[in-house]
Amino acid sequence: MTPRPWLAHYPPDVSPELEESPFAHLPAMLRQDAVDYADTIAFTQCMPNGMNGSLTYADVDTLSDDFAAYLREVVGLSAGDRVAVQMPNCLSYPVVAFGVLKAGCVLVNTNPLYTASEMARQFADSGATTLVIIDMFADRLPEVLSSTSIGTIVTVRIAEFFPPVIAGVIRMVQRFWNRSLPAISVAHTPFQEALKAGRARKTAEAVAAYLDDVDLDSVAALQYTGGTTGIAKGAMLTHGNLVANTLQTITMCSTHMRRGKEIVLTALPIYHIFAFTVNLLGFHHLGARNILIPTPRPPSNLKRAFENYRITWLTGVNTLFNALLNERWFVDSPPRHLHASAAGGMALHESVAARWREVTGTPIVEGYGLTESSPVLTFNPLGGQGKDGSIGIPVPSTDVRCLDAEGRETAIGGAGELVARGPQIMKGYWQRSDETSVTVVDGWLHTGDIATMDAEGYFTIVDRKKDMVIVSGFNVYPNEIEERIAAMPDVVEVGVIGIDDDKTGEAVRAYVVAGASAPTEAEVIAHCRQTLAAYKVPKSVVFVEELPKSPIGKILRRELRDSAEPAATPSGDPR
């Protein structure tokens, strides 16, 4: 086998190896971006009705310095302390995230859709002592705080940094029309007050000193993932991991990413590793204008953004692209300035890719990665060299192999577990050395995905070794859902799998063996909704007499998947 055959398919100006990092840590990169593009608009938050607010690169740089000073001088945090951040895409997010990094602290991204029990579990595991949360969800905190180490809470408004009149209108709608602003019964500091307090204590010398003990090997973020077991673990992503992956992605797409000229639509949540690295860090480093969409559902929420801004780039998951292609307004008037689109998080259907090119007249390519790899490992080259159905070729400074069950590299076309090595591979799992040792072996990340490589070095995922389900790009782990359902009265056994779904790519289905007083499908779903985020809740429940098991009694989810259509018995019928 020719070593690294994919190198022949790199764009002409792409080097197979990254140069040594020019930045000592992430804040150094962010600071340079602010110098290079000071007066350029960095972020614009666009609401579904078109109301908006913006911040320049200089604004974000100054405000994030204020927040860094607040964390260190007012709250009293030290380098390495964890700060949980729980908010949708909004102007406050980059200010907070960059401020946490500039303070030398560790960012703990948290899904705003999490229930109180999910929040408590992640906050307790990370050891976060400070939480920045959107005020719309702060009513969950009384259930959360007692089991965590959080002592400081900062609340953020969705229209923070909007012009005062527009912010006031949005606030009134939230309070009196949507009734989406719950009373906050715990001690908290409004974000603007935190910024003011930090500003009063800030000096340039102090802000610089916060990073004295931070280097490329320091942990920048704990990004939670279920990994191979479904038990939530914090992947320790270092400053070096994230700087490297930012530069790898930009380098791979260099022919279609123009410095200072791109306007990227960010509909994917920035707390997800794909949008965090590619949109927040990558396009920021390019001097792009980032159009932030707080929620892309329904897809009509994107209409005003496409109408009001000359969108040149779009990143998304298959379900987002498919949803837009089913919107009359989008198909009738596709974005005229779109330059290219990138898909990740879940498999891009070939039919969706073909129709996207037909409707928009622009390229769309698929990449692949994991939280543990910051995330990008492979990418289809832009410029006509990509292959639909493939996850592309490794990005610079990255080696990828397919290994058989004995750990030997497979022949070309042979299926095996995809393993990868490169500067973007995580430092390990937070406080879980045992899990780290079986996931990263001699520097190689074992992804748990089964893939093949063709003669040109293009990789294709053919199966998942893990049982993870991907719903609209979100990872869902069967163990967690099975545990919830098994706790119900008269549930004997339960097995959870993913089934194909036209809207979300995959949907959760639960197979239940019940006793005499069997719950109904509606009762099982209602029970799950009490403690699980909406995307984790089963879309269907099938009652069966027994579940397939191995000789040692392990439920065989693969057999459930193989027999998923048609269902064993109609949903809701225990017999």
Query: In this predicted model, what pLDDT tens digit does every residue of 215-269 receive, in sequence order?
Result: 999 999 999 986 545 568 999 999 999 999 999 999 988 878 899 999 999 999 9
Q: Torsion angle, CA of 433/435/437/440, rounded to 10 degrees?
A: -120
How far apart CA 128 and CA 280 sit, in angstroms, is 22
Query: In this predicted model, what pLDDT tens digit does every residue of 128-141 receive, in sequence order?
Result: 999 999 999 999 99
How far apart CA 418 and CA 296 sit, in angstroms, is 32
How far apart CA 90 and CA 87 sit, in angstroms, is 8
How far apart CA 65 and CA 67 sit, in angstroms, is 5
- What pLDDT score does 231 carry? 66
**Which residue numbers in the chain have pLDDT < 70?**
1-2, 226-231, 384, 463-466, 550-554, 565-575
Residues in the chain, total: 575
- Contact call for residues 543 and 514 (beta carbons, < 8 A): yes
- Classify the phi-psi angles of 397: left when phi > 0, otherwise alpha if psi is within -120 to 50, otherwise beta: left
How far apart CA 295 and CA 414 sit, in angstroms, is 41
Q: What class is the 469-562 domain?
A: alpha beta
- What pLDDT score does 167 carry? 94
State how far the alpha carbon of 285 is from the alpha carbons of 30, 138, 320, 328, 366, in Å.
7, 32, 25, 34, 21
This prediction has a pTM of 0.87
At 230, the amino acid letter reads G
How far apart CA 191 and CA 30 sit, in angstroms, is 21
Does the fold of domain 469-562 match that of domain 52-214? no
Token pair for 406? 């004995």
Check residue 549 and report its DSSP letter.
Answer: B
- What pLDDT score does 570 carry? 37
Check residue 520 and report its DSSP letter.
Answer: P
Task: Dump strand ranges (E) for 328-453.
Answer: 340-343, 364-369, 376-379, 393-394, 399-403, 416-421, 428-429, 440-441, 444-453
Q: Which of 232, 235, 207 is nearest to 219 (CA)?
A: 235
- What pLDDT score does 565 carry? 66
Helix or strand holding residue 103 (H, E) = none
One-character DSSP codes across 345-360: SSPPPHHHHHHHHHHH
How far apart CA 124 and CA 254 sit, in angstroms, is 41
Domain ranges of the chain: 52-214, 469-562
How far apart CA 162 and CA 159 sit, in angstroms, is 5
Out of 1.10.260.40, 3.40.50.1820, 3.40.50.980, 3.40.50.2300, select the CATH number for domain 52-214. 3.40.50.980
